[in-house]
Amino acid sequence: MATAVTAQPLPIDRLTPAWSAEHQRAASILSNVTLWSTVAIDTWDSFHADDPKKALLEQGVRDGAVMGLGLVVKVLVHRRRPCAPACGVDNPDYSFWSGHTALAFASVGRRRIAITVPLAIGTGGLRIVSGKHYLSDVLAGAAVGALAGRFIR
């Protein structure tokens, strides 16, 4: 029976510093706050769009596609998180790509962009500080999320 091959960190990931356990815990909590703030703003904008039913449906498709594809990629790539094996409730082999970052960037909308872009960038940075992802995981998640946000609207 074949086993999954674990993908290794890239050279760019050496730029990711190690943080203390207190910083990691705080960053993990804050990354959820910034992510869900971005999603909430996107939902607010969808609800107040010219055609809210269509906008909310598109948001659901966009978010579902980003998270569903992300789960498939995580299973196939099987990359260890920087925090492995002590990653808490998170699967230690689901590092690539950052689902938090992908969803945050997919939620950057047409309106309130001055608020949602910094929140999405903050989500990615906090995922690195939390020890959950490497820089390449966050960059890939941001690219996928931004593409989904651009084309599924």
Model confidence at 3, in pLDDT bands (50, 70, 90)?
Answer: low
Domain borders along the chain are 18-151
Write the CB contacts of 60 (distance below 8 Å, at least 6 apart in sequence): none
Task: Locate 13 and state its tokens.
Answer: 């990931």
Task: Locate 53 and state its tokens.
Answer: 């039913």
Confirm if 80 and 92 have CB atoms less than 8 A apart.
yes
Predicted TM-score (pTM) of this structure: 0.87
Residues 118-153: pLDDT tens digits? Answer: 999 999 999 999 989 999 999 999 999 999 999 987
Alpha helices in the chain (DSSP H): 21-47, 52-77, 99-106, 113-129, 135-151
The candidate with the shortest Cα–Cα distance to 15, out of 142, 139, 116, is 139
